């Protein structure tokens, strides 16, 4: 899992499209490790957290992209499929719902 770590660290140190590309690469590395990992649950948790961070880029650095909202939703859906109990995924989803002016849905995510 050291392979993914360097890309996820680079993503955190980068901005915009560059950060997204590092996240995508790190997620691909993690996805490849799931089947052979001793602790697949931990790899899935890290993968979902990386996806949440990537999704967050579409509410910040990449919010001007015409498909930013759809891409954010899609990544969060995929992250939820990977690890439905991941608190970071739920937090980013709640943030998205607030941006969409859907406070009741945001509150549901937090609960």
**pLDDT tens-digit readout, 2-47:** 689 999 999 999 999 999 999 999 999 999 999 899 999 999 999 9
Q: Please give the model's pTM, rounded to 2 decimal places.
A: 0.94
Residue 88: helix, strand or coil by DSSP? Answer: helix
Predicted local confidence at residue 3, as pLDDT:
85
Residue pair 64/54 in contact by the 8 Å Cβ criterion: no
CA gap 60, 65 in Å, rounded: 10
CA gap 6, 49 in Å, rounded: 15
Place of tokens 């050291």: 2
């Amino acid at each position: 899992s050291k392979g993914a770590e360097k890309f996820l660290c680079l993503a955190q140190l980068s901005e915009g499209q560059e950060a997204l590309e590092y996240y995508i690469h790190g997620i691909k590395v993690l996805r490849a490790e799931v089947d052979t990992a001793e602790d697949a649950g931990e790899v899935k948790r890290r993968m979902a957290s990386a996806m949440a961070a990537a999704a967050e880029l579409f509410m910040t650095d990449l919010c001007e992209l015409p498909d930013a909202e759809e891409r954010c939703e899609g990544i969060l859906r995929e992250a939820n499929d990977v690890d439905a109990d991941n608190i970071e995924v739920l937090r980013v989803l709640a943030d998205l719902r607030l941006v969409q002016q859907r406070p009741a849905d945001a509150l549901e995510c937090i609960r």
